[in-house]
Amino acid sequence: MSGAGSRSIVQGVVLVVAGLLFAVPLVASASFGFTLPAEGFTLTPIADAVADSGFGPQVLQSLALALLTTIASFALLIPTLVWLHLRARRWLPIAEALSVIPFVVPAVALVNGANLAFRLTVPGFLTSVYSLVPFYVILTLPLVYRALDTGLRAIDLNTLVTASASLGSGPIRTFFSIILPNLRPALLTAALLSFTMVLGEYVLATLLLHNTFPVFLVQIGQDRPRAAAALSLITIVGTWLMLSAFTGRGLARRRRGPAAPDAAVPVVAPILNPDVRISA
Amino acid sequence: MTTTSAEVTLRSIQKSFGRQTVLNDVDLTIRGGELLAVLGPSGCGKTTALRVIAGLERPDHGTVHIDNDDVTHRRIDKRGIGIVFQAYSLFPHQTAAENVAYGLRVRGTGRSSREARAAELLAMVGLADHGSKYPQQLSGGQQQRVALARAIAIEPRVLLLDEPLSALDAQVRVQLRDEIRRIQYEMGTTTVLVTHDQEEALSMADRVAVMRAGQVEQVGTPHEVYRRPATAFVSSFIGVVNRLSGRVVGGDRVLVLGQGLTLSTAGHSVGHVIAVLVRPEHLAIQRADASAADAATGVVTALTLRGAISSLTVLLPELPDTIRVDLPSREAQDFTRGDRVRVIVHAEDALIDASAVPSAAVRAGERAAA
Ligand SMILES: Nc1ncnc2c1ncn2[C@@H]1O[C@H](COP(=O)(O)OP(=O)(O)O)[C@@H](O)[C@H]1O
Ligand SMILES: [Mg+2]
């Protein structure tokens, strides 16, 4: 009895502390971004920021980058992982170990190496903002890999593929009408992780001199810190709402019945967005 | 409903994984329209044999024919095969009806006709009202019914069932056995059932192929493999068998428990001690005097009621293990633990002809079965 009681107290304390750690910076940046000393609540800073000529293009650019990065990661990783799970399971541990290398290599080292290599070989390549896509694919690889891998482990891939083949389905149809639909939750998780990371990535973009949304935030934060705080808060809350919408729909689907394999539920994503808060 | 009854022929099939030979020169014919059970202990290569028929494994040697069609090198999706797996093979994102209709969709059957067909098949497996449910809303037994309907929907030339009942509760299992048998009968589809459960094999199959360590030891009707097992392994794997020892006393005469029996002694010479295998129902007992002391007189150590029959365990003086005697329960109720009884080897023709196998070989067979 008392054991269970003290455990629930510990749980409560942990929850409150974690909640505070999570909420205090948000509340602080909200109060900083949406108030002015003389006026109280105000939308002036954010209106100024949005009115800035850089805002629209840079937001769109970042969204495009996020979309392209996600598509490229999926195109690269889904077939690879499906193949590994079906045909070469013993290579999975090696692939997994390789997938965390981007965590180990600092972004600065990555970009300097690439910079040097491309300047010498294809000097034009790095001038386009979309040259960031390959870097972002590498950067998001560890998380996207894990999300997809978890999703594949949650289904009995081999049996489903065999069943589909025995019903006369060729490999391509099986991939699109059996494998992908059952990976849905994992695909959502992976896409959201990838979006959040790209929408918050500052270091690579600024080193390669590209104007993305996080770069805009930092720039605007230099003269108008309140606007930057307000915008990053909106970004975080927006991401969070998007997540809730998706997971909420996932839950509704599950309640209605169809198997939603227990792939990683993407609650961690907003926390993995440190660069946005740098500017606040 | 079209009746497909293709004949499947495996010729000299050899399959190894690394250095392990899993199928060793398997020859097997599955006749058109029959249900053949492949029975054997776990790891003997049953699933591999099934996968070779399905086209999921390519044999290292040998051929697979469906009728006169050599399918050895044909991909699974071109073989016209229906498979039901052990469990959880339904597509989780599709309803029961969509699962059943999937194979028809692949074949380009129009929506309304495939929906009608799915409904018809679900009704056949007793799930008419469950078409709109998702797999996780169905019980294990219901899922296997849907899997069966899905496999049948494409009117396969051959239906392959890999331990389809082994994940289910005992009661559901027995019920589904009868149902699969009934449906297979109605459809007339040539069917291979892989199982390690001898009761399942004997109760469902037209013929049973008993496998051991990558080889087919015997193919026959359930009666044949039970009554006339070709090897000691078959006799000990199928049903219960008592191992008695006998002494060859003359050409085809063997002394077992002090009783002279006529048996084929397969070249053993007079004086040799051989293993004689007898089923529990081929033994009988009589009450014995307290003073009687011979090889056939022992003590009842346990009595188990099994419904219509009862099993008595008897300890005989010259045998290391107790033996089992099965009697109609009506007769068995006259005995209790501790009674002294005399064991009679019932009828000579009930003796199984693996009797001539030397005892060492019999023990090896039992180890493999364990
Ligand atoms: N893909 C494979 N790779 C390596 N060994 C395998 C493979 N498939 C089966 N085996 C081995 O072959 C043997 C027979 O397996 P299987 O056919 O599944 O037996 P059963 O179905 O009778 O239990 C087992 O020892 C198993 O470990
Ligand atoms: Mg098996």
Q: Which residues of chain A lie closer than 8 angstroms to B81, CB-CB?
A: 166
Q: What is the CATH number of domain A55-256?
A: 1.10.3720.10
CB B92 within 8 A of CB A259: yes
Q: How far away, in angstroms, is B353 Cα from ligand 2 center?
A: 30
B46 CB within 6 A, ligand 1: yes
The domain ranges of chain B are: 8-232, 233-283+291-369
pLDDT at position B70 is: 92
What number does the ligand 1 atom closest to the CA of B46 have?
22
Instruction: Inspect the interface and report whether the beta carbons of B136 and A259 lie closer than 8 Å.
Output: yes
Pair of tokens at residue B95: 């309803």
The confidence band for A252, taking pLDDT boundaries of 50, 70 and 90, is low
Chain A residues inside the 8 Å CB shell of B89: 156, 159-160, 162-163
Q: Could you tell me the strand order of the sheet in which B61-66 lies?
A: B20-30, B8-17, B61-66, B69-70
- Say whether residue B307 is in contact with chain A using an 8 A CB cutoff: no
User: Among A162, A167, A261, whose Cβ lies nearest the Cβ of B106?
Assistant: A167
Q: Which of A27-31, B89-93, B187-191 has the lowest mean pLDDT?
A: A27-31
Tell me the average pLDDT across B137-149.
93
Task: Check the CA dihedral B41-B45-B46-B48 and report its sign.
Answer: positive
| Distance, CA of A196 to CA of A202 (rounded, Å) | 12
Residues of A in contact with B88 (CB under 8 A): 156, 159
Total CB pairs under 8 A between chain A and B: 72
- The whole-number pLDDT of residue A280 equals 31
In the predicted model, what is the mean pLDDT of residues B326-344? 91
Contact in structure between B23 and B52 (CB atoms under 8 Å): yes
B315 DSSP β-pair partners: B299
CA distance A148 to chain B (A): 17
**Which of B24, B20, B81 is closest to B55 using CA atoms?**
B81
Within a 10 A sphere around the Cβ of B59, how many other Cβ atoms? 22
The number of CA neighbours under 13 Å toward the Cβ of B102 is: 31
B45 lines ligand 1 (CB under 6 A): yes
- B88 and A159 within 8 Å at the Cβ level: the answer is yes
Q: Which residue of A has its CA nearest to B77?
A: A168
Among the listed residues B267, B208, B206, B214, the one whose alpha carbon sits nearest the alpha carbon of residue B234: B208
A172 and B CB contact within 8 Å: no
Mean pLDDT of B334-338: 91
Selected for mutation to probe chain A from B48, B57, B106 (highest A CB count within 10 Å) is: B106
| Topology of the domain comprising B233-283+291-369 | OB fold (Dihydrolipoamide Acetyltransferase, E2P) (2.40.50)
Q: Where are any strands of DSSP class E within chain B?
A: 8-17, 20-30, 35-39, 61-66, 69-70, 81-84, 158-162, 190-195, 207-212, 215-220, 242-250, 253-256, 259-262, 273-278, 283-287, 297-305, 309-315, 323-328, 340-345
Give ∠ CA B157-B159-B162 in degrees, rounded to 5: 155
pLDDT at A60 over 50: yes
A244 has a pLDDT exceeding 70:
yes
Task: Give me the pLDDT at residue B204, please.
Answer: 93
Contact between chains at A257 and B133 (C-beta distance less than 8 A): yes
B88 touches chain A (CB under 8 A): yes
**Which residues face B242 on adjacent strands?**
B278
Nearest to A159 among B89, B93, B135 (CB): B89
Assess whether pLDDT exceeds 50 at residue B369: no
Chain B residues with beta carbon closer than 8 angstroms to that of A259: 92-93, 134-136
pLDDT tens for B102-125 read 999 999 888 999 999 999 999 999
CA-CA distance, A213 to B78, in Å (whole number)?
52
From A25, A46, A24, A49, select the one nearest A36 (Cα to Cα).
A46
Q: What is the DSSP string of A74-128?
A: HHHHHHHHHHHHHH-GGGHHHHHHHHTHHHHS-HHHHHHHHHHHHHHH-TTGGGS
Query: What are the structure tokens assigned to B223, written together?
Result: 């009666």
* CB-based contact, B103 to chain A, within 8 Å: yes
**A137 burial level (CB within 10 Å; 0-12, 13-18, 19+):** buried
> Could you tell me the distance, in angstroms and rounded to a whole number, from the CA of residue B40 to the centre of ligand 1?
13
Mean pLDDT of the region B317-325: 87
Tokens of residue B9, six digits: 């022929």
Instruction: Choose between B117 and B249: higher pLDDT.
Output: B117
Q: How far is the CA of B165 from the centre of ligand 2 (A)?
A: 12
8 Å CB contact of A162 and B91: no
CA B45 / ligand 2 centre spacing (Å): 7
Closest C-alpha to ligand 1, atom 27: B43
B164 and chain A in contact, CB less than 8 A: no
Flag whether pLDDT at B18 surpasses 60. Answer: yes
- Is the separation of the CB atoms in B151 and B83 below 8 Å? yes
pLDDT surpasses 60 at B8: yes
3-state secondary structure of B335: coil
Q: Using CA atoms, how far apart are residues A279 and A49, in angstroms rounded to an integer?
A: 14
Question: Distance between CA atoms of B208 and B220, rounded to whole angstroms?
Answer: 5
For the segment A234-260, the average pLDDT, to the nearest whole number, is 63
Q: Do A163 and B83 touch (CB under 8 A)?
A: yes
Closest C-alpha to A207, from A197, A218, A196 = A218
Q: Name the pLDDT band for A3 (thresholds 50, 70, 90).
A: low
Are A200 and A215 in contact, with CB atoms under 8 Å apart? Answer: no
pLDDT reported for residue B258: 84
Least Cα separation, residue B118 to chain A (angstroms): 14
Other beta carbons within 10 Å of A5: 9
pLDDT in tens, A27-51: 888 888 888 887 788 888 888 878 8
Indicate if ligand 1 lies below 6 Å from the C-beta of B195: no
Backbone angles phi, psi at B277, to 5 degrees: -105, 125
Ligand 1 pocket member B311 (CB < 6 A):
no
Burial letters B170-195, b for 16+ CB under 10 A, else e: eebbeebbebbbebbeebebbbbbbb
Residues near A61 by Cβ (< 8 Å), separated by ≥ 6?
A129, A210, A211, A212, A213
Judge whether A170 is closer than 8 Å to chain B, CB to CB. Answer: yes
> Ligand 1 in contact with B258 (CB < 6 A)?
no
pLDDT level of residue A178 (50, 70, 90 thresholds)? very high
Q: Which residues of chain A have a CB within 8 Å of the CB of B102?
A: 164, 167, 169
Ligand 1 atom nearest B162 alpha carbon = 21
A196 touches chain B (CB under 8 A): no
**How large is the average pLDDT for residues A217-223?**
83
**Neighbour-count burial for B111-145, b at 16+ CB within 10 Å, e otherwise:** eeebbebbbebbebbbbeebbebbbebbebbbbbb
- For residues A223 and B310, the model is more confident at B310
pLDDT at A4: 66
Residue nearest atom 9 in ligand 1 by C-alpha distance:
B48
**Contact list, B103 vs chain A (CB under 8 Å):** 167-169
Q: What is the mean pLDDT of residues A165-189?
A: 92
Q: How far is CA A251 from CA A243, A258, B17, B136, B305, in A?
A: 12, 10, 43, 15, 52
Residue-averaged pLDDT of chain A: 80
B159 touches chain A (CB under 8 A): no
Q: What is the pLDDT of residue B4?
A: 54
pLDDT at A266 over 60: no
Domain B8-232 and domain B233-283+291-369, same fold? Reply is: no
* Nearest ligand to the C-alpha atom of residue B166: 2
What confidence tens digit (pLDDT) does each residue in A71-123 have? 999 999 999 999 999 988 889 999 888 888 888 887 778 888 888 888 888 77
pLDDT of the residue at B156? 92
Which residue among B47, B160, B196 is best mutated to probe the pocket of ligand 1, counting the most ligand atoms within 8 A of its Cβ? B47
The single residue listed with the structure tokens 């800035």 is: A52
pLDDT of B347 above 60:
no
Interchain contact A168–B (C-beta under 8 A): yes
Question: Ligand 1 test: best mutation among B19, B22, B217, most atoms within 8 Å of CB?
Answer: B22
Closest CA to A141 of A86, A97, A203, A188: A97
pLDDT at residue B43 in the model: 92
pLDDT at position B355, please? 41
Cβ within 8 Å, pair B89-A164: no
Q: How far is the CA of A178 from the centre of ligand 1 (A)?
A: 26
B8-232 has which CATH code?
3.40.50.300
